[in-house]
A = this chain, B = another copy of it.
Amino acid sequence: MRSHYLPRLEKKKTIDLRKKHIGPSCKIFFSHDPIKIVQAKGQYMYDEKGQRYLDCINNVAHVGHCHPDVVRAGAQQMEVLNTNSRFLHDNLVLYAQKLQATLPDKLSVCYFVNSGSEANDLALRLAWQYTGHKDIITLENAYHGHVSSLIDISPYKFHQLSDAEQNQYVHVAPSPDVYRGKYRADHPDPATAYADEVKDIIHRAHEKGGKIAAFIAESLQSCGGQVIPPVGYFQQVAEHVRKAGGIVIADEVQVGFGRVGANFWAFQLQGEDFVPDIVTMGKPIGNGHPMSCVVTTKEVAEAFTFSGMDYFNTFGGNPVSCAIGLAVLDVIGKEDLQGNALRVGRYLTDLLEKQKEKHPLVGDIRGRGLFVGMELVKDRLKLTPATAEAQEVIYKLKEQHILLSADGPHRNVLKFKPPMCFTTEDADLVVENIDHILTEIEEAIGLKLHNALKVENESSKRKVSVTLLPILNSFCSLQLTKANL
């Protein structure tokens, strides 16, 4: 498939206009040589020359870029009516009903908003009002959105600030990361150990006169490094938090809607005995259309009315957004995308595990469904982050027309979260390329596995790029620690 779309501007002109008129804080991928994308379909994107890219990162285009059912639902509703939720409309209530059916019964009341940020901000307001408390517990490296209240609870963001000053009501608990965190896979009970950290925070907050309104966490940390908390963690956290009069907010903005394969919602990976008080949604909910949702219990929703303040969101829950949301749910079901996420995710994870056996740079593979992280380290004992190497992989993949990104606090976790129509062939393609690139990097820097797991891959040897060393040398932080492998 080749794009027949004719771009109106020369790429250079697009870049110049962007520099002139778009806020410089809005970063572009591959800033030295950005990609101009003009078309997309399924898991593929196309640049202005018709070059196809395999998209391994866009969890917003959840059911596939430009899915015809979603496009049709949106276009048809746009023609008929698009107005606010101060009038009765079937789309709003049918969508709320259908969305509710994916959740535990007690999560029954919806607030429709326009973005994950609006959803998380509203979740905080609900928590403050319901509990009458103010303090929020968040996780290390968490990212919950870009509005000011969420920067405050997003260490991923506020640590970027030169003059970061932590809000006194915000408490940061250790990320339940069993690879790099405080309690690791060798700990007898990391779930309890991490939950006890939250208990301690509550205790210390109480000592200072604080009162816990909420614990908020992504069900699986995404920007934080594709972290999968040990099973039982959230149950215990919820117990501690509720005992303190607080509630639990599960942020599913990145990981919801079947992506984790085994369940529709990522918090459900913890087991049926964990039900959050509030679930926030976003990115994939409208396959790119700006919409999102907060779902909570009847009790929390009723308490919110006691403030005396109405809640009105101009665009939230409009008939077009709801038509699109309904279509997304329909497609997930009709095309069994949750099942596909489970199957292809497992296939991808298995392929990546084999890369770990082969490549010393691969420290950890972790994933659920089509939410997978591959953490690169320069030293498997010290876990020295291979940040520059992760960037190198991303840039080299781009040359092979594959889009992947690196994230986590050290930007050394390759992060897979492709459209849910991703196939085993797509997985083969990206992993084969990663194999070549890791081989190149390891050869260039003389890094070898010291044990029998290493398997020479002759084909990859032939592809060593002559441009590799200069690029690697440009990362001044690059420190090799072969001795520890």
- Identify the A interface with B (CB < 8 A): 5, 7-9, 11, 14-15, 17-18, 20-29, 34-40, 45, 58, 60-61, 65-66, 68, 70-71, 74-75, 78-90, 92-94, 96-97, 100, 108-111, 114-118, 121-122, 124-125, 146-149, 151, 157, 160-162, 282-283, 287-291, 296, 301-302, 304-318, 320-321
Contact = CB atoms under 8 A, between A and B. Distances in A.
29 contacts: A9-B90, A17-B96, A21-B96, A21-B109, A21-B110, A23-B109, A24-B109, A24-B302, A28-B88, A36-B89, A37-B81, A40-B81, A40-B82, A45-B81, A60-B84, A74-B78, A75-B78, A82-B288, A114-B118, A114-B315, A115-B115, A121-B147, A122-B146, A122-B147, A147-B147, A151-B309, A157-B309, A162-B307, A290-B291
B82 A78 contact: no
A17 B93 contact: yes
Given A81-B65, A108-B20, A288 B27 contact: no
Given A66-B79, A94-B8, A114-B115, A36 B88 contact: yes
Contacts of A11: 88
A94 B29 contact: no
Kindly list the 3 A-B residue pairs having the minimum CB-CB distance in the complex, ordered from nearest.
Answer: A75-B75, A17-B93, A21-B96
Contact of A25 (B68, B83, B116, B301): B301
Nearest to A37: B87
Given A18-B88, A148-B149, A315-B115, A5 B80 contact: yes
Given A21-B108, A314-B283, A320-B288, A26 B118 contact: no
Copies in the complex: 2
Contacts of A125: 148, 151
Given A17-B94, A22-B92, A65-B83, 10 more contacts: A14-B89, A14-B90, A21-B110, A27-B312, A28-B88, A34-B88, A162-B308, A288-B315, A288-B320, A290-B318
Contacts of A313: 26, 115, 117, 146
A132 to B, nearest CB: 9
